Amino acid sequence: MTLTLTPLLKLPLIHPGDNLADIILASLQTSHINLEEGDILVLAQKIVSKAEGRLINLTTVIPTDSAKLLATQCEKDPRLVELILRESTEILRVRPGSVIVQHRLGFICASAGIDHSNVQGESGKPEDWVLLLPKDPDLSALEIRRRVESATSHHIGVMIIDSHGRVWRLGVVGTCIGLSGLPALIDERGLQDLFGYKLKITIVGVADELAAAASLVMGEAAEGTPVVHVRGFPYPLRESSMKELIRPKDQDFFR
């Protein structure tokens, strides 16, 4: 098995209203990549959020009393904390510099995924602009996939990823926050290992594995390669949802 990940070249800076599918198709041509059946496109969350106009200027945000109180505990801008509260369903941990929440999309992350880096609005001070996660990353991935498939007549998968921290381990890794046309999980229970032992608990988070690999290729700073083409994914493509990856609360040992 060979798995090949190739960053797309010469992608422009993305602005609200941009058609990501058209931009990706043009970049595939520039990168001399012809899509084939079963290929996957992995997109960084930032370009999806920017295209969908998820930029917020903090000067327009009025913090509530709850946000002001939480801001004193985490030592963050109350306006940013207000946005964190709006994007979250539960505050799980607070300490100076950190707020860990359950995002409205279901997963656990820091600061509701709101980011300052590589974000700039049309006017005002760059430091006043922040970027929220897409409203519905699964739907975003589906719409991009449909447009690309219509233009190429090939069935592909599309995934949107972000960088998340992990319980008990340092460092962020690429994590799937939305996908269409590829599996999030592969259930290997019942399969035999090399010695004939039947697997009993092995369910593989293949979307997160691929997200981490694509994140290595994208980089985390000023690389400017927010889309990765993947060929050789070792599992059949199928419909799925990011919700497959969310551990039910009654099975969560860390809350």
Q: Is the sign of the CA dihedral 216, 219, 224, 226 positive or negative? A: positive
Taking the alpha carbons at both ends of the chain, their separation in whole angstroms is: 39
Note the pLDDT tens digit of each residue in 40-76. 999 999 999 999 999 999 999 999 999 999 999 999 9
CATH superfamily of 55-131: CofE-like domain (3.90.1660.10)
Domain ranges in the chain? 4-52+135-244, 55-131
| Rounded Cα gap, residues 83 and 128, in angstroms | 13
The CATH number fitting domain 4-52+135-244, selected from 3.40.1550.10, 3.40.50.300, 3.30.1330.100, 3.40.50.620: 3.30.1330.100
Q: Are 189 and 200 in contact (CB under 8 A)?
A: yes
Note the pLDDT tens digit of each residue in 123-161. 767 788 999 999 999 999 999 999 999 999 999 999 999
Q: Are 227 and 47 in contact (CB under 8 A)?
A: yes
| Rounded Cα gap, residues 172 and 191, in angstroms | 32
Q: Are 172 and 45 in contact (CB under 8 A)?
A: no
